[in-house]
Structure 1
Amino acid sequence: MPSNVSASRDNQSWNYVLRSGLAGGVAGCVAKTVVAPLDRVKILFQTSNPDFQKYTGSWAGAFKAAGKIYTDGGVRGLLQGHSATLLRVFPYAAIKFMAYDKVHFMLMPTRDHETNFRRFAAGSLSGMISVLFTYPLEVIRVRMAFQTRSGTSSPLRPSVTQAIHQISSEGAVAPTSTQTAKTLFTTFPVLRFYRGFTVTIIGMVPYAGTSFLTWGFLRAKFIPRPMPGEKKPATPGADLVIGGISGMIAQTVSYPFEIIRRHMQVGGVMRPDRWLRWGETVKAIYRTGGWKGFYVGLSIGYLKVVPMTAVSYAVWEAGKRALKI
């Protein structure tokens, strides 16, 4: 009994939660670096970049697109936007895993309290909390990855500061779609960095919820938990497999939301005078590619998300062991 009480208090302490967040932040950076070139290709596919539309629809096309990027810009081209990715991913992953540990314990203080619904709720809440605090960095990252042609008014390989300046100037002078949007832009300039935020929050519910639900369910099903007082065994192989399955299922469930979000995030490039709305974005995607338009890049999404999620969860678990939590 004393060991259980001690473990519970430790799980509730901010020392524990912050160390879990540190492990999560490192895990996120490692995972994103592993799949950075695929991430660049996927963004170009999702946002219907005119230079890369001919490559969409197959894994072979994804590799051809990566080859073109490498030919045009070398390794730096494949990693374009990655600096902004790391700036976003560390706090995003740290907050997500830190929030998950905290919310998980609040909803499920003991094994008897664990249910699939509570696992889903804990994952969804942690994902939404992390997005709320880090979303502007995501928009900056997508803008940096989207640019491909030097003939446009934007630089071929924009820096973080150039991307920030571009986003800051959008909608500042030209009339927006509604007077309300214009007033909001003027009163709260930071909103320009929240293009696509509503669809992101809604999409985060099935994505993070399903990911953590699958992770928790499969671990509870196949990995024996240590008895009180026993040391938690290292299970890197199982962590990788379960993490990969979690990422694949979560990606499938939430992918249409991701397509809509990407189009809204780069909307300022195509329509800098407007705040693209849900309805018109959905209609534009459907008009261009039908229902399949909401799944453009899904194959490369699997190719990216499965190893990324697998590495993320495995490194998080390894980090927590290394930090003795």
Structure 2
Amino acid sequence: MASEDVVGKTSETAVSTIFNLAEEAKIASEGVKAPSHAFLSISKSLVAGGVAGGVSRSAVAPLERLKILLQVQNPHSIKYSGTIQGLKYIWRTEGFRGMFKGNGTNCARIIPNSAVKFFSYEEASKRILWLYRQQTGNEDAELTPLLRLGAGACAGIIAMSATYPMDLVRGRLTVQTEKSPQQYRGIAHALSTVLREEGPRALYKGWLPSVIGVIPYVGLNFAMYESLKDWLIKSRPFGLVEDSELSVMTKLACGAAAGTVGQTVAYPLDVIRRRMQMVGWKDAASVVTGDGKSKVSLEYTGMVDAFRKTVRLEGFGALYKGLVPNSVKVVPSIAIAFVTYEVVKDILGVEMRISD
């Protein structure tokens, strides 16, 4: 597949791209901190962001798992018909542990993903702003929403490529049930099994729709969040802003709006990514249906073929399976992440604000 051919090059250059961006931004900046001080500041920021991501994802883990199960379930053997019914079914059949299945892998993925994403966004923003000021000749110019979208897209692509194997494993661990013929015992076992049975390229199945989906999702998140904050501070509508500082609730509203728009636009690509990740897993049909008897077609030749088969066999609405539980978790996830980040930031004395 074309996506598989470019995976190696993308993964190979992801890290070098980050450091190139960092170096260029450092040269363009007005002053440079001592290496040890800069490293400590960045490390503290990444720890705060990682803890916030882990806590927020754990809080909405049941909804995250239900979303994935809705995305990949067999249309001819429906077990999950909605958010409330789906959560009740998981609780009844798998208990408390079933609600959080795959969350350990998710948290393990979130920490490096958040680290790479936010670091990349900060450095890409600095470099893009420097280039923009050089081009316009205006040293006081600020990033436009479109430029922020570009910086967010770069950050999302790099982070997704760097941590994609963990995302694939998380999807499989989340989908499997007690009735699955083969059980992945954990992250390491799942990675080794996929490598042994399906080959290294299998770790990047569904990478192309993931990267394409990341562009509007992460890009819109950053662009809308920062643009909304700037607009509120400058226009001060309805008396929401005092002394050029947004309240916690106003920031949460900005984040919720940005997250909702971004995930709605990118959601169909997320569904296709999940389905492509199941390709090659010989027990995927049994896992998805839960009865070991019914079979579901999981053979796709690529992203376009996956889109075509999904819409033809299940209708356009199938591209938004699991959207409700995904939307329900957006607001509390952002709220918890924000509060946790602020607490950890204060404890560690973080100087640089990743989200701002």
For 1:306, which of 324, 331, 342 is the aligned residue?
331
For 1:148-297, list aligned pairs within 5 A. 148-150=177-179, 152-155=180-183, 158-171=185-198, 189-223=199-233, 235-269=247-281, 276-297=301-322
Question: Counterpart in 1 of 2:23?
Answer: none
Deviation of 1:52 after TM superposition, in Å, equals: 7.4
Cα distance change, pair 284–217 in 1 and its aligned pair in 2 (3 A): same
Over residues 107-126 of structure 1, what are the superposed CA-to-partner deviations in whole Å (9 max), with x where a residue is unaligned? 23576231011110111111
Farther-moved stretch of structure 1 (17-26 vs 85-94)? 17-26
Task: Report the CA distance shift for 1:136/1:28 in structure 2 as closer, same or farther (over 3 A).
Answer: same
Letter matched to residue 189 of structure 2:
Q
- Further displaced range: 117-126 or 101-110: 101-110
Which residue identity lines up with residue 268 of structure 1 in the other structure?
G
> Deviation digits for residues 158-199 of structure 1, max 9, x if unmatched?
42233224322443xxxxxxxxxxxxxxxxx42211110111
Give the match for residue 65 of structure 2.
Answer: 40
Matched ranges for 1:68-147 at <5 A: 68-108=89-129, 112-147=141-176
Structure 1 pair 121/316, CA: closer, same or farther in 2 (3 Å)?
farther
**DSSP 3-state at the match of 1:287:** helix
Q: Are the aligned partners of 1:247 and 1:305 in contact in 2 as well (CA < 8 Å)?
A: yes
**Partner SS for 2:280:** helix
CA distance in 1, matches of 2:244, 2:34: 15
Are 1:30 and 2:55 counterparts? Answer: yes
CA distance in 2, matches of 1:276, 1:101: 37
TM-score (norm 2): 0.73
Map Cα deviations across residues 122-173 of structure 1 (whole Å, 9 max, x no partner). 11111111111111001111000011251x4222x742233224322443xx
Give the aligned residue type for 1:29: G
Please list every run of 5 or more consecutive structure 1 residues that lacks an aligned counterpart in the other structure. 172-188, 225-230
Question: Which deviations, in whole Å up to 9, do the C-alpha atoms of 1:296-323 show, x marking residues without a partner?
Answer: 1111111122322343355445555541
Contact 2:152 2:223 in 1 (8 A): yes
Displacement of 1:49 in angstroms is 4.8
Shift in CA distance, 105/315, structure 1 to aligned 2, threshold 3 Å: farther
Q: Which amino acid aligns with 1:295?
A: Y
User: What is the rounded CA distance, in whole Å, between the counterparts of 1:319 and 1:111 in structure 2?
Assistant: 33
In 2, Cα distance between equivalents of 1:74 and 1:243: 32
Q: Secondary structure at the match of 1:53?
A: coil
Given that 1:41 and 1:66 are in contact with CA atoms closer than 8 Å, whether structure 2 keeps it comes out as: yes
Quote the Cα distance in structure 1 between the aligned partners of 2:33 and 2:164: 31
Q: Deviations over 1:202-237 (max 9, x none)?
A: 11101100110111101111247xxxxxx9968432
Paired with 1:29 and 1:286, the residues of 2 have a C-alpha distance of 34
Say which SS state the counterpart of residue 113 (structure 1) adopts.
coil
Amino acid of the structure 2 residue aligned with 1:136: P
Amino acid at match of 2:174: A
Q: Which runs of 5+ in 2 are unaligned?
A: 1-27, 131-138, 235-242, 285-297
What amino acid maps onto 1:210 in structure 2? L
Per-residue deviation, residues 77-115 of structure 1 (Å, max 9, x unmatched):
000001111110111111111211221222235762310
Task: Output the CA distance in 2 between the equivalents of 1:93 and 1:133.
Answer: 11
Aligned sequence identity (%): 29
Structure 1 residue matching 2:228: 3-state secondary structure = helix
* The 10-residue stretch of structure 1 (257-266 or 45-54) with the greater mean CA deviation from structure 2: 45-54
The code of the aligned residue for 1:86 comes to C
The answer as to whether partners of 1:207 and 1:253 remain within 8 angstroms in 2 is yes
What is the distance in 2 between the residues matched to 1:170 and 1:78?
28
Residue 68 (structure 1) shift: 1.3
The equivalent of 1:228 in structure 2 is none
RMSD between aligned alpha carbons?
3.1
